[in-house]
Amino acid sequence: MITTTILKAGPGQLVEYLPDLEVEALAETLVAFANSDGGTIVVGVDEHGKPTGRVYPEDVESALRRAEALCRPPIHTGWEQIDLAGASVVAVSVARSTELHSVSDGRVVIRMGAENRPLAGEAIRQLAATKSSGEFEAESVAGARRSDLDDDVLAEYIAKREERQRKRITSTPDALLREIGALDAEGSPTVSGLLLFGKNPQQFLPQTSLVFVKFIGTEPRGEGGLPGYGRREEITGPLARVIEGAWDVIWEEMHVGAVVKGLEREERTEYPPFAVRECLVNAVCHRDYRLKGRRVEIRMFADRMEVISPGGLPGFITVDNLVEEHFSRNPRLVSGLFQWGYIEELGLGIDRMIEEMTQAGHRPPQFKALPYSFTVTLSNIKERRAALTWEKTMNERQARALTYLRERGQITNREYQQLCPDVSAETLRLDLADLVDRGIVMRIGAKKGTYYILK
């Protein structure tokens, strides 16, 4: 059923609204979802989720079949009808596909936020290579049985999912496990099932633990330059326990200071908590679990923290498009952790991680992609603002925007227009684009959700 959550959230990474049964638009969105993480197309509502009254049940099957035929190769879907405020609305479910799909005109399209984005050249080749490798997380695990799953962990997941969806789950636990791909058709645990709900996943998949190491100085060695480290912990269990266990260790090792604002004392951690948690969750849910003998590593130094995830960037993702694009190597794990509450909103975590770091006075996170690993480095060094030569070349409006940014941390187009009410929207847009081009500010988000932060 179409949930109120989908209709309230609006179009995004996993949801699209279409006002009519327009075949070409439907086909393009089918391809975008199938090439990405799957999703739901709600047909018969406007951009605000209100019914248009222009969709009739007798036309749905024909339009959907024609749209599927415009996809190369064809995409098979399911749909359901619901009456919303007296009008018919249709929800089309699209699963992530292991094949590379294109529209009949040759475009390869992926889902990016609330938009369908065409790919070209090398990005298409990388996406095809990722899909051709198959979905390791969906494979059954040799020797694992249903009894190897922890019913208490499953009950916790169900409770969290019901709370997030605001809807009671009526299916049996085993039926739900099959629905989310945690059990195969024969009732045996899959890789994702063991990772999410296993009593001891490392018994079958040793590479799925996490290692935390703290070094005394800025180099990977112990006191006096000798080999060694200050602390080493290996965290095991299902992914929820790995994330929480690693977070507890990091929290114990982070320095906590304090500042006084007015009459209140405010604690300041060595690193912004959200940024740390985002790095941790991303490393755990996006790593390549096919790589044996390599685990997620967290290395804490005196001046930085490195989070190292086995496996290069998935699909068409590169360091250059990491903020704008989204693609999950392990969609079942991502969905599970999303329902659990460890992922707040798909595709927006990197944006906020950068924002949290810069607003706290730290350098932006550094990203390093290699063929078989991806590293995020958080620096705990806060930078003093020096007099910058480009400030002398700003116009008065841009200087006003810069002051606003330093006071508030971010600025939107609407807020800039309120600062400069007598200037056209296009002139203000060009002002902000100029600041982005000169590397002074960074653009975050898309369309109505766009805002700017100091770079």
Q: Enumerate the domain spans of the chain.
A: 4-121, 138-205, 207-379, 389-454
Mean pLDDT of 122-148: 85
Q: What CATH code would you report for 207-379?
A: 3.30.565.60
More confident residue, 182 or 293: 182
The pLDDT confidence band at residue 258, using thresholds 50, 70 and 90, is: low
196-233 pLDDT, tens digit per residue, is: 999 999 999 999 999 999 998 888 876 666 677 889 99
Mean pLDDT of 96-107: 92
Q: Largest Cα–Cα distance in the chain?
A: 78
Mean pLDDT of 291-297: 93
Beta strands in 20-86 (DSSP E): 39-43, 71-72, 78-84
Q: Collect contacts of 354-360 with beta carbons under 8 A, ≥24 apart.
A: 354/323, 354/442, 354/444, 354/453, 355/409, 355/410, 355/444, 355/453, 356/272, 356/274, 356/275, 357/271, 357/272, 357/275, 358/442, 358/453, 358/454, 358/455, 359/272, 359/409, 359/410, 359/453, 360/268, 360/272
Mean pLDDT of 377-406: 71
Average pLDDT in the chain: 87
CA distance 271 to 305: 9
Least confident range from 13-22, 67-76, 301-310, 350-359: namely 350-359
Specify the amino acid at residue 62: S
In terms of CATH architecture, what is 389-454?
Answer: Orthogonal Bundle (1.10)
Pick the CATH number of 4-121 from 3.30.950.30, 3.30.70.1350, 3.90.1150.10, 1.20.58.1610: 3.30.950.30
**Would you mind telling me the total number of residues written for the chain in this entry?**
455
pTM over 0.85: no
- 380: Cβ–Cβ under 8 A, 6 or more apart, which residues? 255, 270, 271, 303, 304, 305, 362
Mean pLDDT of 45-54: 90
